[in-house]
Amino acid sequence: MTAAIHTSVTPAAPGVVRSRSHLANVLHRLVRNPLAMVSAGIILLLILMAVFAPWIMPHDPFATSMLKRLKPIGTPGLPLGGDELGRDLLSRLILGARLSLFMGIAPVILAFILGGTLGIIAGYAGGWLNTVIMRCIDVLYAFPSVLLAIALSGALGAGITNALVSLTIVFVPQIARIAESVTTAVRRSDYVDAARASGASALLIVRKQVLGNVIGPIFVYATSLISVSMILASGLSFLGLGVKPPEPEWGLMLNTLRTAIYSQPWVAALPGLLIFITSVSFNMLADGLRSAMEVKQ
Amino acid sequence: MSLSPRPAPVDPRDLGGPAQPLLIVRDLKKHFPLKKTGFGLRRERLAVRAVDGVSFTLLKGETLGVVGESGCGKSTTARLLMQLTRQDSGELVFDGQTVGDVLPLREYRRQTQMVFQDSYASLNPRMTIEDSIAFGPAVHGVSRADALGRAHDLLARVGLEPGRFAGRYPHELSGGQRQRVNIARALALEPRLIILDESVSALDKSVEAQVLNLLADLKEALGLTYVFISHDLNVVRYVSDRVLVMYLGEVVEVGAAEALFERPLHPYTGALLRSMPSTDPLRRTEEAPLAGDPPNPIAPPSGCRFHTRCEHAQAVCAQRAPRFVEVEPGRSVACLRYEADSGYALPPTPSQETHHV
Amino acid sequence: MLGYLLRRLLYALPIMLGVAFLCFMLVHIAPGDPLVSILPADASAELQRQMMRVYGFDRPLPEQFLRWVWRALHGDLGTSIATSRPVTGEVLKAVGNTLMIAVLASLIGFSLGSLFGFVAGYFRNSWADRLASLVSVIGVSLPNYWLGMVLVIVFSAQLMWLPATGAGPGGSGDWRWDWAHFQYLILPAVTMSFIPMGIVARTVRALVADTLAQEFVIGLRARGLSEGGVLRHVVKNCAPTALAVVGLQLGYLLGGSILIETVFAWPGTGFLLNQAIFQRDLPLLQGSILILALFFVLLNLLVDVLQTVLDPRIERG
């Protein structure tokens, strides 16, 4: 029921000048960053490789052969050599991209959702709810990440799901902390006060006013965690706590090829090279994203 | 040049008519506890006594100016009036209805709005101008198309061409333009009361004048009531019908603007007015009328809080806190000099002296 | 100041309790019987019950937790199922070994990282800066276990300058500070140093660049202070934070050494942890994680306190 103090309600005037949104600005800047774009390209290639793996692989990644054990790079029929069971390394590397990338990205996505929600709730609500949530987070945060991942994986046992669970648990506190810190800062701003003054409920304010300002920094932080997650995930497989053989995964392959460093060192080192390249690319992209977002408007 | 209070145009939401005050503020208190100092069993709970018993009435259609030094509690009072912070004790009565009780908070918020000091911080950097203005109406059920339409109307009303400004972001506007947007946003819910907390303080003088004129026009056209908080005494004198002076969390004087400026009663008001640099070269300001910094709001002086800096202070001022009394119609002061039987020894008047001759 | 210290300590206590609780629960979230590694699968029900009683697994959980904490406070973390030796002793011995490579790694990481970072921050946007940034990105993106393998390939298998695995010619039993033993230290420590180096370089670069951009530096130069003098000021400003970062990194190295120690068969806590996991030696697993985590918490506390002492600008309420 509106009071009729002034009544003119005209439809929005056509031809309103519209400025580029913040997101568009960030992307605009990101695209002009050569390093970031190269990294994005590499990542895209790797993802495509993982998606289309069954069609790209030259040979069967699971076919073992006693004769082809530990063959060097360039052997006919084994473009990148043969692993310790005679399987084609190239095919295994290509198929291995699936699990390696998945284990790197999935925990971060899960942690982004879980940790982000927890942090935003804690940051907006404040008071005792904030204290309870953040103290629990602090206990998890008190462990060095590697140790926590290994402890959880060690307790739960090997396997992809278990590894996913432990890695997610490792990253939730980190993301939650950032989320809480950013949300608390936004909560204190005048425009949130103005929104409260217009009678909006907390949920509405978080959705419409807070989220847009908070998602950015949390997202940037999460992308910087992907490379860490990849290294940790493959590290878990390296220790035998993640992916189980005979599934191809770069970390697991490093483990099983370890004994080959004396006979075929370069074959043994290849999976790690891929992990390294992926990790560097994600880091560069994350850096580029951060720079693109940091420009003071 | 002040506008005398005009009767508001007939507002369907008006309950008590012009005689009923729009807002009665009763004994508001807000203390901010400090973090516990020291460790061990005995922990002193010190608090910043930001607002310590503030009461006043606000008449319909008037502009009440609120002045005082930094730290006197002006901004906290503003936030309490908006209920952005909840008071520790005390109540607000809006047009005869107690806020939070008879009058739900959500309804109160439709009728009272605020324009903040920092024009940049009070606009969401990720929302366009029209979205920021349309947010309030949308919360209360107005359709998006209607809300945007209203936003465009309001932009036009505050002097910003909708075609040029509606789709822009706050950082693309100047300070004066942003403040106009803030005013438009405050008007979006069609309030009756607007609290202006240092709303023009950050603007250049020329822009300030434009915004003040805009505020005056809006008030007349829409029948608004203003609470105008500022530290700039000249501006307050220009816009206010009545003025309220605060010191260290308390109200020390209230009165009609001209009368208060011409003849201040409370020593603090007098010192404040004398501290405005004079523009008359023949009457230069020689001495600072107020000595020292305001005392700490954590541990205010005993008795009358101003006695440590008051030129008229006597021993009783440190012992007894003055009550807020109406000295003349429309003029109230909290000072022992004007309180009968307070123990304050007034200088003998000439008529008394002749008696003893 | 003292108040802050005490409050900080007081605050760390519930965290430590939480950490202990988590360590305790690790055993109980593990699937399967906690006794599965001690008893053969066909053990009689009677024997199973007896062992449960001996290890205290038949008591209610909260009671088990309190007993465990009580014993831990007295230094008793149970007995390793695999070796039948007290856990506390095993872990502490291993901690010493890990500290050797971790401290050396931190020193290398700190010195080289600070050097790179300083050069990068001083000569901003020059080729030196870009090179240092590259080094820093590589440092944090490298899977350290892979780096270890590569270094072993290069320096052990191919060049044969340094030994590949182990902690000494006679195994880990005796350690002497001579070259014969020290050479075993080099590869693991260097491998470990890359990540701290990367992080320190990045931090120092940002710090130096920020400090040099501040107005007081312009003031110093305007007053004729030599460049060396200016640099001394910069170092003074940046030192506390850089030290804090290194301190924290040391904690991470201690906690995360398992990967490198596995590659190099270095008998430290990580190696121990590895054994515990694969032998399902739950008391050992619990005990080592507890000690490592508590170490980390205390280290954080120490770094926090040192930072407050060294940097008077940081105001702690």
The string of DSSP letters for A87-141 reads: -BHHHHHHHHHHHHHHHHHHHHHHHHHHHHHHHHHHHHH-HHHHHHHHHHHHHHH
Share of chain B above pLDDT 90, in %: 33
With a cut of 50, say whether residue B356 has pLDDT above it.
no
Q: Which of A138, A142, A258 sits opposite C296 (nearest CB)?
A: A142
Please state the rounded mean pLDDT for residues B46-62: 87
Our CA-based measurement puts residue A170 at a distance from the nearest CA of chain C, in whole angstroms, of: 13
Please state the rounded mean pLDDT for residues C224-247: 80
pLDDT at C34: 61
Is A86 part of a structural domain of the chain?
no
- In the numeric block, the tokens 């100041």 are attached to C1
Q: Give the chain C residue whose CA is nearest to the CA of B36.
A: C317
- Which amino acid is residue A104, in one-letter code? G
Helices (H), C123-214: 127-141, 144-151, 179-213
Is B114 part of a structural domain of the chain?
yes
Residues B314-348: tens digit of each pLDDT: 888 888 888 888 888 888 898 888 877 777 777 76
Residues C268-308: tens digit of each pLDDT: 888 888 888 887 777 788 888 888 888 888 888 888 877 77
Overall domain count for chain B: 2
B69 and B189 part of one domain? yes
Is C317 in Cβ contact with B39 (below 8 Å)? no
Can you point out the beta strands (E) in chain C? Answer: none
Q: Give the chain B residue whose CA is nearest to the CA of A215.
A: B126
Domain boundary among B225, B243, B261: B243
Residues B68-124: tens digit of each pLDDT: 887 788 889 999 999 998 889 999 999 888 888 888 888 898 899 999 988 888 999
CATH number at residue A180: 1.10.3720.10
Report the alpha-carbon distance of residue B95 to residue B103 in Å, rounded.
10
With a cut of 80, say whether residue C159 has pLDDT above it.
no
Our CA-based measurement puts residue B121 at a distance from the nearest CA of chain C, in whole angstroms, of: 26
For A61, the token pair is: 């990644």
Residues C58-80: tens digit of each pLDDT: 777 788 788 888 887 877 777 77
Interface of B with C in 39-68 (CB under 8 A): 39
Please state the rounded mean pLDDT for residues B201-227: 90
Is some CB atom of chain A closer than 8 A to the CB atom of B171?
yes
pLDDT at C174: 62
B172 and B268 part of one domain? no
B209 and B338 part of one domain? no
CA distances in angstroms from A15 to A22, B40, B161, B164, C57, listed in the order given: 21, 67, 12, 9, 75
Residues of chain A where predicted confidence (pLDDT) is lower than 70? 1-15, 295-297
Is residue C192 packed enough to be buried (19+ CB in 10 Å), middle (13-18) or exposed (0-12)? buried
- In the numeric block, the tokens 């730290």 are attached to B71
B239 and B256 part of one domain? no
Our CA-based measurement puts residue A171 at a distance from the nearest CA of chain C, in whole angstroms, of: 15
Is A80 part of a structural domain of the chain?
no
B216 and B329 part of one domain? no
B267 and B194 part of one domain? no
Please state the rounded mean pLDDT for residues C206-213: 82
Domain that holds residue A256: 15-51+97-292
Q: Which of B35, B38, B39 sits opposite C317 (nearest CB)?
A: B35
Residues C125-150: tens digit of each pLDDT: 777 777 777 878 888 888 888 888 88
Which neighbouring-strand residues pair with B200?
Answer: none
- Which amino acid is residue C89, in one-letter code? G
B171 and B270 part of one domain? no
Interface of C with B in 5-34 (CB under 8 A): 6-7
Is B294 part of a structural domain of the chain?
no
With a cut of 70, say whether residue C312 has pLDDT above it.
no
pLDDT at A110: 96
Report the alpha-carbon distance of residue C92 to residue C284 in Å, rounded.
12
B192 and B142 part of one domain? yes
pLDDT at C37: 57
Report the alpha-carbon distance of residue C96 to residue C185 in Å, rounded.
13
Report the alpha-carbon distance of residue B229 to residue B200 in Å, rounded.
10
B114 and B189 part of one domain? yes
What element of type H or E holds A235? helix A211-238
Q: Which of C149, C274, C289 sits opposite A151 (nearest CB)?
A: C289
Is A73 part of a structural domain of the chain?
no
Q: Which of A244-258, B15-29, C80-94, C301-315 has the lowest mean pLDDT?
A: C301-315
Is B9 part of a structural domain of the chain?
no
Closest Cα to residue A227, out of A283, A144, A169, A284? A283
With a cut of 50, say whether residue B42 has pLDDT above it.
no
pLDDT at A183: 93
B235 and B267 part of one domain? no
pLDDT at C7: 79
Question: What residues of A are in contact with residue B148 (Cβ under 8 Å)?
Answer: 12
Is B2 part of a structural domain of the chain?
no
Is some CB atom of chain A closer than 8 A to the CB atom of B82?
yes
CATH number at residue B212: 3.40.50.300
Please state the rounded mean pLDDT for residues B283-287: 66
Cα C106 from chain centroid (whole Å): 10
Is A20 part of a structural domain of the chain?
yes
Overall domain count for chain A: 1
Q: Which of A5, A10, A197 sits opposite B109 (nearest CB)?
A: A197
With a cut of 80, say whether residue C31 has pLDDT above it.
no
With a cut of 80, say whether residue C154 has pLDDT above it.
yes
pLDDT at C200: 87
Contact B64, B24 (CB under 8 A): no
B97 and B224 part of one domain? yes
Is some CB atom of chain B closer than 8 A to the CB atom of C176?
no
Domain that holds residue B307: 249-287+301-357
With a cut of 50, say whether residue B242 has pLDDT above it.
yes
Our CA-based measurement puts residue C240 at a distance from the nearest CA of chain B, in whole angstroms, of: 26
User: Nearest 10 degrees: CA dihedral of A50, A54, A55, A57?
Assistant: 90
- In the numeric block, the tokens 């035998």 are attached to A240
Contacts of B247 (CB under 8 A, 6+ apart): B68, B69, B72, B268, B294, B305, B306
Residue C229, helix vs strand vs coil? helix
Q: Which of C21, C153, C256 sits opposite A146 (nearest CB)?
A: C256
Is B198 part of a structural domain of the chain?
yes
B117 and B131 part of one domain? yes
CA distances in angstroms from B94 to B10, B62, B113, listed in the order given: 17, 15, 13
pLDDT at B148: 92
Is A84 part of a structural domain of the chain?
no
Is B121 part of a structural domain of the chain?
yes
- A-C Cβ pairs (cutoff 8 Å, strict): 133
With a cut of 50, say whether residue C40 has pLDDT above it.
yes
